[in-house]
Amino acid sequence: MLDLRLPSPLVELRDARLHDVRLWLKRDDQINPEIPGNKWRKLKHNLPAFGGPVLTFGGAYSNHIRAVAAAGWHFGFATVGVIRGEERLPLNPTLAYAVERGMRLTYLDRGTYRLKHTPEVLEGLQARFPGCLILPEGGSNAAAVLGCRELAAEISAEIDFDVVCCPVGTGGTLAGIAAGLGPGQQAIGFSALRGGGFLADEVARLQREALGEAVPGWRVETAYHCGGYARSTPELSAFIDDFDERHGLRLDRIYTGKMMYGLFDLIGKGSFRPGAKIVAVVTGPEWISQ
């Protein structure tokens, strides 16, 4: 029904800037064109519970909204997307795609959207869309953490790594990857948001929800947001262009571009021991061309 490329490819990167560390890319962006990367891993264990309609949240360019719409289409459940901000027509490619996949869209102004996980707002949505199962923003819940935990195991089956890196939006992916670490291994998440200091609490909360306790061995790097969510800097754009030229891989500028930019900065600063084996998870493709 849905053609999934799992385990996703793990490929070593040759790059003179790596000096004495080794770097592999875990190509989760190649899992499936419609439900790629961490979006598949986060949805996977949620699907059995999705008998009826599913309601979820996201910005107008959300990869999660896109992936849930595709999952609803392929697995036969109705979807409602609650979008941050005002409706803008014509719909952008993300939302147009979601509607094409049968998703019903509704909008919350930014103030209300910030309160979206409070009982008041949730009850209002439940009343408007009766019987909907509510999936949090980014799909990050306990089942998502368990899905992303499998990613660490999948990599370990191929190489004995020291460090695994991923981008961080809501924190579900990092929470799961970190939950799957073995002794001596560590996970580094690179925040795509400005002021990402709260994300460590969020990752720990998600781990408690999924596993009953928070696990050690991970941290969130907050210095590489490049101006904030969906923002960029000339340095980030130049890094992405240069990476594309060297490796024929176009990183997205919201998530994986910032992770790789941050990781190469840390490598350049000598933050890893000589010979360290590092894995960077390419959590998704370059969808957003705005």
Ligand X SMILES: *Cc1c(COP(=O)(O)O)cnc(C)c1O
Query: Interface residues with ligand X (CB under 6 A)?
Result: 37-39, 63-64, 138, 140, 167-173, 252, 255-256, 283-284
Find the shortest distance in angstroms from Cβ 33 to ligand X: 13
d(CA 62, CA 182): 32
Helix (H) or strand (E) holding 83, with range, is: strand 79-84
Contact 71, 41 (CB under 8 A): no
Neighbouring-strand partners of residue 187: 164, 218
> What are the φ/ψ torsions at residue 43 (nearest 5 degrees)?
-80, -30
Q: Looking at beta carbons only, is 56 or 256 nearer to ligand X? A: 256
Residue 213, phi then psi, degrees to nearest 5:
-155, 155
Nearer to ligand X, 124 or 175 (CB): 175
Query: Min. distance of Cβ 127 from ligand X in angstroms?
Result: 28
CB of 172 to ligand X, least distance (A): 4
- Closest separation between CB of residue 169 and ligand X, Å? 3
The alpha carbon torsion through 4, 10, 15, 19 (nearest 10 deg) reads 150
Closest residue by Cα to residue 172 from 48, 281, 24: 281
The nearest distance, CB 67 to ligand X, in angstroms, is: 8
Considering the complex, state which of residue 141 and residue 185 has its C-beta at the smaller distance from ligand X: 141
State whether the Cα torsion 126-128-129-134 is positive or negative.
negative
229/168 Cα distance (integer angstroms): 11
Which one, 72 or 285, has the nearer CB to ligand X? 285
- Grouping H, G, I as helix, E, B as strand and the rest as coil, residue 50 is coil
Nearer to ligand X by C-beta: 72 or 172?
172
94/283 with CB nearer ligand X:
283
Q: How many Cα atoms within 13 Å fall on the side-chain side of residue 125?
A: 28
Taking the complex as a whole, how short is the minimal distance between the CB of residue 142 and ligand X, in angstroms?
13
CB of 198 to ligand X, least distance (A): 13
**Is 7 or 16 the residue whose CB approaches ligand X more closely?**
7
Closest Cα partner for 107 from 86, 78, 138?
86
Q: Which residue of this chain has its Cβ atom nearest to ligand X in the complex?
A: 284
